[in-house]
């Protein structure tokens, strides 16, 4: 199983819109493209940052390719960005679990 830690820095003033897009469309599309959300966080001292962890079933590159080509995602992204991009920066780190401690099961 491959995990992915993603960090989004919202464009100034657009954090609420970024969170709304995740809530309203992105998370459900992740499920359909073999990506399971394990958690979403905002750092206490950086309220314009959204961090989340995904579990990929299968190849992450293939999952993202299919997600990016999904017309529902294309439409949701376009509709949410009529006044410009919601994210100023996106970082991704692919992770593999170690045997040091069991991976927590998402609810």
Q: What is the CATH number of the domain that holds 65?
A: 3.30.70.100
Which residues constitute the domain of residue 26? 2-96
Residue 55 in domain: yes
Question: Which H/E stretch holds residue 71?
Answer: helix 71-80
pLDDT value of residue 22: 98
pTM of the model: 0.91
**Phi, psi values for residue 99, rounded to 5°:** -95, 15
Q: Exposure string (b/e) for 10-38, b if CB count within 10 Å is 16 or more?
A: bbeebbeebbebbeebbeebbeebbbebb
17 occurs within a structural domain:
yes
> What are the tens digits of pLDDT across the range 61-90?
999 999 999 999 999 999 999 999 999 999
Q: Tell me how far apart the alpha carbons of residues 101 and 82 are, in angstroms, rounded to a whole number.
A: 44
Decide if 101 is inside a domain.
Answer: no
Instruction: Give domain status of residue 64, yes or no.
Output: yes
Assigned domain for 19 exists:
yes
Domain annotation covers residue 46: yes
- Measure the CA–CA gap between 107 and 105, rounded to whole angstroms: 6
Give the chain's residues under pLDDT 70. Answer: 105-107
Q: Is 48 helix (H, G, I), strand (E, B) or coil?
A: coil
Query: What is the number of structural domains in the chain?
Result: 1
Q: Is residue 28 part of a domain?
A: yes
> What does the alpha-carbon distance between residue 91 and residue 4 come to, in Å, rounded to a whole number?
10
Which tokens is 50 given?
């959204």
């Amino acid at each position: 199983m491959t995990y992915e830690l993603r960090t989004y820095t919202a464009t100034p003033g657009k954090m609420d819109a970024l969170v709304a897009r995740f809530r309203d469309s992105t998370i459900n599309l992740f499920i359909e493209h073999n990506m399971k959300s394990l958690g979403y966080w905002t750092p206490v001292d950086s309220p314009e940052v959204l961090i989340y962890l995904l579990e990929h079933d299968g190849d992450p590159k293939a999952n993202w390719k299919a997600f990016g080509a999904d017309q529902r995602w294309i439409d949701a992204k376009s509709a949410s960005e009529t006044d410009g991009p919601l994210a100023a920066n996106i970082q991704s780190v692919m992770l593999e679990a170690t045997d040091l401690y069991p991976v927590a099961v998402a609810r």
